[in-house]
Amino acid sequence: MRGHGLMQAIARVNRVFKDKPSGLVVDYLGLANELRQALATYTESGGRGQTALGQGEAVALMQEKHEICCALFHGFDRRKWIDGKPAGRLALLPAAQEHILAQEEGKDRIAA
């Protein structure tokens, strides 16, 4: 985790609610340096930093990624995902993974 995502995660943990006065973040993975950098970036901008992408760019990128996913799952029967119960949906995940991995560069395309 880095930057904005790390700051969001910390903020979510630290939200107060009813009898919860604060949060506790335990750094099992050694993210302290990334947290220091994220805090420095946030502090330098005075809390008024700019988003990484404008709304139009973000929508275009999301549409592009959606098209990639649709192409990757072309020919895969996903009706159980749409109509099924939670257990049926979970049971479909290994088959979906195999469908992607069986394609040429499927692993790279899904991660892009």
Indicate the pTM of the whole model: 0.49
Q: Which residue has the higher pLDDT, 88 or 110?
A: 88
Give the chain's mean pLDDT. Answer: 81
Q: Which one has a higher pLDDT value, 50 or 108? A: 108
pLDDT > 90? residue 20? no
Q: pLDDT band at 45, cuts 50/70/90?
A: low
Choice between 18 and 112, residue whose per-residue pLDDT is larger: 18
Q: Of 11, 6, 3, 9, which is closest to residue 49 (Cα–Cα)?
A: 3
- 39, 40, 46, 52: CA torsion to nearest 10: -80
C-alpha separations of 76 from 27, 66, 95, 99, 101 in Å: 40, 15, 9, 7, 13
